[in-house]
Structure 1
Amino acid sequence: MQCQTIVLGAGIVGVSTALHLQARGRKVILIDRAEPGSGTSHGNAGLIERSSVIPYAFPRELSRLLRYSLNRQPDVRYSLRYLPKAGPWLLKYWQNSSPAGIAVATRAMLPLVERCVEEHDALIEAAELGDLIKAKGWIEVYRNADAFATAQEEAHALKPYGLRYEILDRQQLHTREVDLSENVVGGIHWLDPKTVSDPGGLTRGYAALFVKRGGQFIHGDARTLRQVAGDWQVDSRQGPISAAEVVVALGPQAADLFKPLGYNIPLEIKRGYHAHYRPRAGAELTHSICDVQGGFVLAPMVKGIRLTTGIEFAASDAPANQIQLERCEAIARKLFPLGERIEAEPWLGRRPCLPDMRPVIGPAAHHKGLWFNFGHAHHGLTLGPVSGRLLAEMMTGAKPFTDPAPYSAQRFN
């Protein structure tokens, strides 16, 4: 089977890349072992995060580092066994999280973040998925007056980025979310982002649009990628598939391909969990709520109220550990009247992260026809369509809407 471009990985990044290449006239085959949207794209908080103009940085305050060293915080935990392996990557992350490093990362990511909503909007309309989207923003909530005051200062500092937000005192917050507990002293309502009630369903809807427009989705194993007579070839359930170009959009599994090909890209995994809960009788959550101090999100989803956790550093294939989820759940129950958990076991996902807080988007330096699009960390859902557009512009010779140099894989070599 022959095509012009193979896209490996049917998460939000891969599906979006396939759609943008298809729209520019390429014959594309999308390949994944599983169904579209069943990996990392399935388990996030469902935020199209227009307000996250500052990347998530490694904490540098000594007091916070000391707290994290005890490994008892709800937002970040680590496996002691895995820490020596993650140590060199964490050091690079810490180094890039200096004020100067954050400024560089912010400038690099801003063109992608600024376009994230409009790129999603175009696909949502084409795929007729508007019923999964709410344009109500999301709310940060605070249980401590000092933390709330600091958050207000940080929000005001973002005014040059043109973000829309509202500061809510206790009464205003409870007017918008009547079932929040009295423990909450206030919040910040970010108005520009949109929320998704079924992130996996959104990705599957985009994949269905790709197929409707004449694309093919085929189950196959990206790890069989090889060069044959100048083309790239992958094994699938329908036999070998060949193309002149291939895109690696495998998220946390991208290293399975680029490492054997000789690319030294420092990709690390931040694990995270989610579980769904029924609200107690009569209770309702109408916005996605982020408890910044607790490091979790409560989001109204199709399956119930989804609680998503922060960061866990552990081996990618290590068994699930419910400690972090249990810590977050204990706080969440004091914040909102959660009922019973719906699933017997929580979902475990893996965020693909790079230490300079920006993805790899662009060509591989030493292999003709090999392209990368991975490493979107906490913002894969947010940035899938916009990074897919950027890569498609590069691959088809169009003028990129922004300078792609900050996302080059060559920055690590």
Structure 2
Amino acid sequence: MDAFRQSQACGDFSFAPQHPPRHVRAIGIWIESADMAADAIVLGAGIIGVSTALQLARRGKSVVLVDRRGPGEETSYGNAGLIQREGVVPYGFPQQFGLILRYALNNRIDAHYHWRAIPHVTSFLAKYWWHSNLSRHQLIARAYAPLIEHSISTHNELIEEAGAQDLIAKSGWTELFRTSAKRDGELKEAARLRQEYGVTFRELTSADISVEEPDISGDFVGGLKWEDPWSVRDPYALTMAYVRLFEKLGGRVLKGDARSLSQTATGWRMVAGDGTVEAKDVVVALGPWSDTVTKPLGYRFLVGVKRGYHMHYGTRVGAKLNGWTMDAEKGYFLAPMNQGIRLTTGAEFALRDARKTPVQLERAEAVARTVFPLGERLDPEPWMGARPCTPDMMPVIGQAPRHKGLWFAFGHAHHGLTLGPVTGQVIAEAIAGEQTLIDISAYRPERFEA
């Protein structure tokens, strides 16, 4: 039976009769010449878009997932691989004047900026700083926590259905501290989070670190082991496992340009593959590129970009990194991925499409080699991704206020991998007219229009 005529559990796709259904399959991407109708189009095939498309398909919707590249090839390809159940407090802007001055020197691993970008990001940074005030930040964390609370459970459902258990480690992750002041402050904060949000952790002594990570050396006075989070050995492979499950449920993955989207009398239409796709609903999950759709439709979201870098390394003979580990005061991460030891950096504030400047990676590698016996670089060049960040540190999730059938799911900053499935679930529930898993009013798009 023709795959395009096949009726799936998730619904039927129909085609205009004047276009015969000609198709090819290449690298998991369907290329079609026929006009196509579906219940929903999802724009953006990162972890947020893939999860949204999959959650819609699981609810019986016919769905087309569209991206200019293959699924998972942009920001979702590279990250530390954490599903951060403990991450109820989003990353804020420093409030201490002395620390801001140190960042201004622009010589750190955890943050770097482009001078040319400053005039363009001043408004974002000012509002980011304002929302990061202690009292406002704590209110934001309370609104953010319900998303994080369901991060593990919603991932687990998809991991089980996708048969991706081999990609998951359930042993948490570790922060290492070089000074007692940093250790004591972080342990105090961890105790607060345990009391308020139920996250669990374990304090590590220097001796504990030596037992858990015998190949890590350095003047670490102690550590903190977050016990709830899961780790992903290959985030790209997990995204692709979700894509395969989506396709198994009858979903289609097409290449297309989101800028071709237009509204029709009954919904939305765009060019994708070799033809056009029409649907009642469309979800914008384009991460830092969401403005290519939102701006022409009259929406002005203040979204900044934090870029990040990674590189994979071999290890010297006999060395092994057992778990996901952060050098807390230096601001880099070491993760034992399937591709090798992944070294990740902090945030780079730059224009989204500016050229790569992996200076943070160079700084991080120099320090990391004194801590762990990294071997040769395994990638031909550093990878770079762009995280979409809102000034109030919460994603944009919900229906557009002025366009029927238009939905937004972007702005997840450092927690895109963590929040993919739960975001997809609440969007899918809202589109289907169901009660959402959590109240999503705090993430509504209208907050940018107040």
Determine the C-alpha separation between the residues in 1 that align with 2:198 and 2:184: 21
Determine the C-alpha separation between the residues in 2 that align with 1:194 and 1:122: 14
Q: Does 1:22 align with 2:52?
A: no
User: What's 2:373 paired with?
Assistant: 337
Determine the C-alpha separation between the residues in 2 that align with 1:100 and 1:363: 29
Equivalent position amino acid for 1:111 in 2: P
Matched-pair contact (CA < 8 Å) for 2:398–2:409: yes
Give the C-alpha shift of residue 155 in structure 1.
1.4
User: What's 1:170 paired with?
Assistant: 206
CA deviation string 1:29-52 (max 9, x = no partner): 111111111111110110000011
Q: Which runs of 5+ in 1 are unaligned?
A: none
Q: Residue 356 of structure 1: SS of its match in structure 2?
A: coil
Give the C-alpha shift of residue 84 in structure 1.
1.1
Matched-pair contact (CA < 8 Å) for 2:218–2:370: no
Determine the C-alpha separation between the residues in 1 that align with 2:218 and 2:100: 30
User: What's 1:277 paired with?
Assistant: 313
Superposed, which structure 2 residues align to 1:256-335 within 5 Å?
Answer: 256-335=292-371
Determine the C-alpha separation between the residues in 2 that align with 1:234 and 1:383: 27
Matched-pair contact (CA < 8 Å) for 1:183–1:335: no
From 181, 190, 197, the equivalent of 1:146 is: 181
Q: Residue 92 of structure 1: SS of its match in structure 2?
A: helix
Matched-pair contact (CA < 8 Å) for 1:184–1:335: no
User: What's 1:363 paired with?
Assistant: 399
Give the C-alpha shift of residue 309 in structure 1.
0.6
User: What's 1:219 paired with?
Assistant: 255
Give the C-alpha shift of residue 230 in structure 1.
3.4
Matched-pair contact (CA < 8 Å) for 2:397–2:409: yes
Equivalent position amino acid for 2:143 in 1: A
CA deviation string 1:98-156 (max 9, x = no partner): 12211221111111101100100010000000000000000001122221122222212
Q: Residue 294 of structure 1: SS of its match in structure 2?
A: coil
Determine the C-alpha separation between the residues in 1 that align with 2:134 and 2:221: 30
CA deviation string 1:212-269 (max 9, x = no partner): 1111111111121112333211111230111111000111110111011100111111
From 145, 151, 162, the equivalent of 1:127 is: 162
Equivalent position amino acid for 1:115 in 2: H
Determine the C-alpha separation between the residues in 1 that align with 2:267 and 2:149: 36
Q: Runs of at least 4 residues of structure 1 off by over 3 A?
A: none
Matched-pair contact (CA < 8 Å) for 2:140–2:392: yes
The answer to which of 229-238 and 360-369 deviates more is 229-238
Superposed, which structure 2 residues align to 1:40-51 within 5 Å?
Answer: 40-51=75-86
Q: Does 1:378 align with 2:414?
A: yes
Q: Does 1:204 align with 2:240?
A: yes
Determine the C-alpha separation between the residues in 1 that align with 2:283 and 2:212: 44
User: What's 2:123 paired with?
Assistant: 88
Matched-pair contact (CA < 8 Å) for 2:324–2:335: yes
Determine the C-alpha separation between the residues in 2 that align with 1:215 and 1:410: 30
Q: Residue 31 of structure 1: SS of its match in structure 2?
A: strand
Matched-pair contact (CA < 8 Å) for 2:176–2:327: yes
Q: What is the number of residues matched between the two proteins?
A: 413
Q: Residue 157 of structure 1: SS of its match in structure 2?
A: helix
Determine the C-alpha separation between the residues in 2 that align with 1:257 and 1:268: 16
User: What's 2:387 paired with?
Assistant: 351
TM-score (norm 1): 0.98
CA deviation string 1:51-72 (max 9, x = no partner): 1111110000111111011111
From 78, 100, 124, the equivalent of 1:65 is: 100
Determine the C-alpha separation between the residues in 1 that align with 2:112 and 2:233: 27
Equivalent position amino acid for 1:246 in 2: V
Q: Residue 302 of structure 2: SS of its match in structure 1?
A: coil
CA deviation string 1:311-350 (max 9, x = no partner): 0011111111121111111111122111111112100100
